[in-house]
Structure 1
Amino acid sequence: MDADPLRAAGVTPRELQIFWLVGDRLHNREIADSLQVSERTVESHVSSLLRKLGGSSRLALVDTAVRLRARREPGTVLPRPLSSFVGRDQETGDLVRLLGTHRLLTLTGPAGTGKTRLALRLALRLAQSVSTLPPAVLVDLASVPPGDDVERAFADALGVSGDERRLRSLIREALAEGRHWLLVDNCEHVTGTAAALLADLLATTERLHVLATGHGPLGVAGEVVYEVAPLPVPEETDDPAVVLGAAAGRLFADRASAVSPGFEVTPGNARHVAMVCRRLDGLPLAIELAAARIRFFSPAELLGRLDDRFALLTDGAQGRHRTLEEALQWSHDLLGDGERTLFERCSVFPGEFDYDTAAQVLAYPPLGSADLVGLFPRLLDRSLISRRRRDETTEYRLLDSVRQFAHRRLVSRGGAETAREQHARHHLRHGVSLLPDLRGRDQASAMRWFDRHWGDLRTAMRWALDRPDTVPAWEFLAGVGTGWEILGARGELFGWIDRLLERPLPAGSLGVRAAVTCSVLLAYQDTGRALTFAEQAYERAGDGAGPDQALALLALGWVKMYGEDRAAAAGHLEHAAARFEALGDDWHRALTMSALGHAGSGTATALARTAEAADLFGRLRDHVKRANCLSQLAVRAIEEHTRLDDAATWLAEAGRLARLSGNDHERLHAEVFRAHLDQQRGDHASAATSYAALLGQFRRIGDRRCTARCLLGLGRAATEGGEHDLARRRLTEGLELALGVGDLRATMTGLCLLAECERATGRFERAAVLLGAAERLDPELRARLFPGDAPHAALRDRLGAADLEAALAAGGRTPLPDLLSP
């Protein structure tokens, strides 16, 4: 988080704590309890914050916190190169003006002109200034295979997940509200698919701006094309000031001095530096590659080598591209055998990687770990690998053109398949090995690993899915298994599962765990299909007392819990809990207890079971699942209209734990249930503000259940505010989603809320039909969620007893999808 605006205003550390809690919409008493200070102290600090930040009300502090937090979103964090930025002042000024007036601006030019660096420079400059554009989201298409669809790259950058078949519509929904600015980099090898997607997004959204980079225009209507020319080159002169007056000369000098401290442009070498820059056509990447060799060659010697290597220089775009290829080939030719082997193997990484991972993946004959210690720094010295700092870690990456060059050489030498397998097996095995850390041993670190290496895992799964046997893929998916409950059900998981299920499940214990994994994940999308796999797992596990049968029992109970078959779910889960306790598996016992709490019909028993699970997860240091249990406790209390103050405390703690673990999904859960609590207390305005802010975030990550919750909450708030047409639209959309995922509670809630909306607009018979449908679903649940007979009494007064009973009966026999048509 960029906290500079707060520091500049003189906000103290204690005020900073209170500021973020106010931003979380906690009341003064809740903040006081959380920080163990007096409520008067909180009031004093809130007043001080209002003075320092210029706000007129507490809501102003909330708005400021939301705005500052938005800068933390993963998609808005742009890479900051370690090396300096040279030149391009004119271009930067031009682009700032163009971005203010055009929705699609494309930077074009041949490879190596520095389009990406210029685009990032522009984005970072605007982020540090007062701009009408929001922070940029970088969509890097470099790792997308040539000609492939680009939807997944856009979805990853925007934090969107969900059904692969609906990715485009999910991306549209994520961009539908508010202003957005996308920096779409490296379009040249996927021009057709990138252009088609951007044309669609720009046509269907009103406040989207795009800055794209590529070798040529995208050809989209309304596109403004800005050609990024090579850097201005110096005259052939002995005057250092003239050479350094040109951006190409300054770039050479800057990069040369970085690798060889003390290097300067002097009267003795100025002409040769100028000639090198001119012969390289002012292409920044080629200049950087040449300057990196200054440790080994003088500028005059470099010039002599360029005479040999760049005979194909032309003025056209194709010629400049071939110049870059020649530069890369020249650099490759300078490598020794070991360096060349390591360089080519590095191309197996689709993105950033650290040294330890490279040593584990790439050290196989003829290279060993000891070889890499000496070889790796030499590749860095030759600028064939770029690097950047992330926190306390140095990350490395081959520039895309360099990576493709290295990969072609790896293929030509017959080493690509082995390198690909080494990379895949390492990442798939390592992901499974982190399961104990995920479950509490070092949760935050494990979650960071999965986030940072998801691109590697995607590449590894592509290798695994292409194999004739499914064992490596299932060893990963089922090896993580119930651990996906901590990581979150990313949309790609369902695509992988669909691919794997085209073939039979593996035999033995792996097949049981594969079926369990399918059932637990699919329960979020399709409870009927999930039940089929849970039953398969139970049948395959047999009657033994080992972990496989315990997992199968958990799967059966889990799916039936989501299907609201509470009695059957409780029976399976009770047996599973006993088995896990006998096995000494406390984490799965806690997971089972949390499911029992969700499935329980009695409030006191359900709360006790969930609290027991929360305590056990806490002892295991699993912050994510403890946060989830606390949210469950709060939801149950809110639905039962009881212990609302406790619910607020539970949700505050759930949000804190989610932030501590770095699990954004659980933080969002705590926030949506906090909005539900505000609504239960009658604060519909605050709830509506929260629901509206959360709706887009849940849509982006593909959480259809919580998207439905937000829509139903917004519908209820609109009803309370007398906006019945808006309420009807929101409630109907929420109901459709709830029906689609099989969420009985949300369906029941939606039916009752829609009935109230219809009653308020005089559509009494339709209101009664909707209530009848809710009664048919689960009378006991309806009574708990909406106690009392007030809705029926109001309709009885309007319709009469006989007509009311007839309408209720009609609702009971009408298929639910048919009821959603007005």
Structure 2
Amino acid sequence: MTADAACVTCGDPIAEGRRYCSNACRQRAYRERNSARGDSPSSSAVPTPLDTFVGRRAELAALARLAGERLVSLVGPAGAGKTRLAAQHAARRADRVWWTALAPASDVDQAIHHAVGAHPLPGRSAREAVIAEVGQHRRPLLVLDNCEHLLASSADAVQDLLEGCPRLRVLVTSREPLRLAGEQVFAVGELELPPADADVAEAVRHDAVVLFRDRAVSVDRSFEVDASNVADVVAVCRSLDGMPLAIELAARRVPVLSPAEIAARLNTSLAVLAGGPRSVDDRHRTLRAAIGWSYDLLPPREQAASRRLAVLGAPFDLGVASAVCGVPDALDLLTGLERKSLLVANRTGGHTTFRQLESVRLYCHERAVESDDISLVADRVVEWVCSVVEPEISSFFPAPPIVLRLDRHVGLVELAAARTAETGDWSRHALTIVATAWTSTPRGPRGAPAELLHRALSRPLPPAYRSVLAVLAAMHHRLRGGWHATRRFATESLAIERAGAGRPGTTARALEVLASAEAHIGDAALARRLFDEAAALLRDSGDKLALAIVLNSYGWTLVQHGEPEPAAPLVTEALALTRLFGLPHMLNPVLHTAGAIALARGNRAEAVEVFREGLVVGSEHPVDQYYDLEGLALALVGMGSDDERALSLLTAASAVRTRYDLRAEPYWQDLLDEARAVCRDRLPAARLRAAESTGERMSLAQAISYGLTTQPVAGDAEGAISARERHVATLVAEGLTNRQIGQRLGISPHTVARHVIHARSKLGLRSRAQLAVWAGRRAT
């Protein structure tokens, strides 16, 4: 017998390893437990909401697979639906479940003791009493809901309970993990979101829209998602990042606001996200209160970081966060905020960026306004952008890592440009416009708009900055066929460089742009001398990437003037240099020139391969690829192998040129016009209209995928696939996923995938996008 062994009923000393001193005490404990279960406190009951539970099928299945884990923590931001998911999971259990609501609690041990209904033990703590009670059950589950404000004490209690009760499982909901050994962290994020352009049939197959519809109908029985409002409902769900609480609160405004009006108000304020049911706790009646609960738990440094990062309104990396937060290294700040579900990390291409959920950002932005952080952040963003651009200002072209960094932060470049214009800081404004011109995104062509360049050049600027802006304006007009403006701006830049700036990089750039203008509207001999001077400058400076660009420009100019043979060695050298040093979108124009030389020499098969390589390497910036589509079409027409494909590609590329006002050079335009004329002569009227219609309806991504098809589809290939495979292909063309196709046809997604693979194989297609294009053509 030991001094601390006692009967759990009466407290009398007992032998080690026993729980009761007699059978009478055992029976008494049994009766007391039964009585306690009949009158268990309300906090121990699993919540049973009155409204419907929407979605989360995949999450519930994943939680079921974690049934053997001792500790699972549902972690997510405010309003993600952690409590509802935990309740839904716990309600499916047949064994004893205790639910502990910690939001109103200040003492974890007492809250658990009350929920479990454990009886006080003489000389023992509340935690020991809980262990004694829980240990009597075969497969108990303890749920601790909303631990974030009592994280340390919750972790301590869970550790002891798991060690003292070998059969116990614990399910935790919190905005950050407990960080215990063996803890399985289960992230609870957004509901499934439809694409922005989803129609009604597509939208209502996604959980976010279903939730909006369900909650809207609960307050307005006449509401339905239809063609008139589906775009706005989808916009609301997407702008709220698919967060359930936010969507519910927005939907409850339907009696007084249309979905369009709700979407408009969400851009600037959280006020619309209020008015939850009276039955829920105060934190969930408004989204501001829910997020404020998390914000108020942060230490001052993390509160300040949250406010300042919210001003950015765009994803950011560690370097930007450090600059905005005013610290040498913001790693610890970002780690803390991400752990507390106030930041979302996105990892792509080996690079990590961070963003705030829009609802979190709006809340923190309100706090930033109150704390007068807006101007501070804008000024720090300006400093960051200028620190990136200034070291590269004298280069022919900025280093590839600089371009990539600016590409990732286009939104911050725009913020810096607006701030410097607002404050009249014209020198730094010039640097932000240079940054704008250097950036490129999949949404549009590279370069700053003409109005930004012209407006910046109208301000007083240091000569070095004016020279760079002038040559960027010249490049802008060259791309759009404005040769006189190109020559005027390039001449101004070159004059500044010759007058004293003397920077090889910017001088060579001005020479190259001026040379291309002279070749088109001036002196061809002068153009050659300017090209030669630019190349010599860059060979002397050792800038091989810039040299490649000049050599390619020189070669392309010669090709346009009917001289492909002298152009070939220039472009061969440019291609070798660009493969070693360039970015994919820099390699793109060099491949185009190489393909144009192959066409001029009559090597159409070689041209096909070169232009297809251009489509592959330019995938990061697809807007650059309209030239490759056109070149590939010219080669196909010359080979006479697939006029329909060629005409579709020409039509799709023409749409890109029209959208962005990108005009082809006269030489190239003549080739395009001739190819279209050939197609119109050789194709029957019906197939001609079908090919043009296909090109008009294709997105740029679809046109690129179509162009990469390695073999033309034979005229009778449709007969090679089954009726079911043709039906599946038609649904693929409508943009449906395998799961959605399976739901429509009453088959499994696995069977759909098999039909897609078989259809592609029989038709000689390499991708799902190519199958969609093929089916779209047959539907015309």
TM-score (norm 1): 0.47
Name the one with the larger helix percent: 1
Query: What TM-score do the two structures reach when normalised by structure 2?
Result: 0.49
Q: Which has the larger radius of gyration?
A: 2
Question: Comparing both chains, which one has the higher relative contact order based on Cα–Cα distances under 8 Å and sequence gaps of 6 or more?
Answer: 1
